[in-house]
Every structure is written in C-alpha cells, then in structure tokens.
Amino acid sequence: MSEYAEEAYFMDGYCSYLMSPKSRLDQTVTHEAIDALQLYVNLYPFNDRVDEANRLIDEMNDKLVYKAYLSAKLYYDFDNYKAAVIALTNCLSLYPDSKYREELMFMLLESKYNLAIGSVYDKRQERLSSALDEYFTFVDEFPESKHKRDAEKFYKVTAEMLNYKPEETNIN
C-alpha cells in the first residue's frame, strides 16, 4: 500500500464532506462522505484524524436527520396526514435519538388524530384507536411537553368518538 494511502482515504471523505449540499437538497454526496470517512476510521482507527473524521460524520448525520425531519414535516404542513403518518413514522424509526423527537412524535399524534377525524366511518374506529395509542406513547415519553394541552384535547375527542356509535336510521 502506498505511503499516501492514509491521506488519500481521509481526503476522499473530506472532499465529499465539502461537497455535501444543504439539508433541503439531495443528500447522495453526504452519504458518500459518511461512507468514505467511516472507511477511513475503520482502516486507521489510531490516527490523529479519527476524531476529526468522527466529528464530520456526526455533523453529516445531523444533516440527514434534519432532511428527514423537513421531508416529514412537509406532508404535515400540507395537511396530507396519511403521507405524514408514514413519513413521520419512518423518520422516527431511522433516527430514534433525534433532537427533533418530541416535535416528530407530536406531529405524528396530530396527524393520526386528524386522519382519524376525517375518515369514513369504516376506517374511523381503527384510526381513532391508533391515534389513542399514539397519545399514550407521546405522554409517556414526554409528560411535560409544551404540546401537552393539545395532546390532551386530542385524547378527549378521540376517546369520546371511540365510544360514539351512530344511530341506525330506518328508511321507509
């Protein structure tokens, strides 16, 4: 192996890091940079630049988390609750320790609630139950959340609707 191989591995990752675009854009280069820097760390774990490589990897991972957050929030902001539920669930699954976790979980609760409220009767019961489950998950993890009042409102309406049965009408 060349005497410059170690430097080349680091610079490969570092150059990709420098080319990594803003969070709102396609993150293919960011993934490439993470992979290249991780390869460097794996090949040269005792080098002086390992701490720098790990710092750059952490920075780019934060960018990916923010990208996922923005993507999920976009569906939520456009009131596309069915898509929001999927995107928010995926984001929480991919990045369970995200600094946006509370916000993501609240948006998921509100999306499930709004999806249930707007559902046809045949789907409403199942979706209300899902929203109720999400409420319990949210308040269990964030009992002192700034969203607690809204979450409790969702709970109250959801619980009432789950007990509601439409009256049968006789059409003569």
pLDDT by residue (tens digit) across 66-120? 999 999 999 999 999 999 999 999 999 999 999 999 999 999 999 999 999 999 9
Q: Are residues 146 and 108 in the same domain?
A: yes
Give the separation between CA 124 and CA 120, rounded to whole angstroms.
6
Q: Are residues 58 and 116 in the same domain?
A: no
Domains of the chain: total: 2
Q: Are residues 35 and 90 in the same domain?
A: no
CATH of the domain at 52: 1.20.58
Q: Tell which residue, 20, 97, 5, 32, has the closest CA to residue 63.
A: 20
For residue 171, is it within any domain? no
For residue 160, is it within any domain? yes
What range does the domain containing 108 cover? 79-166
Q: Are residues 132 and 151 in the same domain?
A: yes
94 phi, psi to nearest 5 deg: -70, -35
| Residue 89 near residue 108 (C-beta atoms within 8 A) | yes
For residue 74, is it within any domain? no
pLDDT by residue (tens digit) across 28-45? 999 999 999 999 999 999
Say what the pTM is.
Answer: 0.82
Q: Are residues 104 and 145 in the same domain?
A: yes
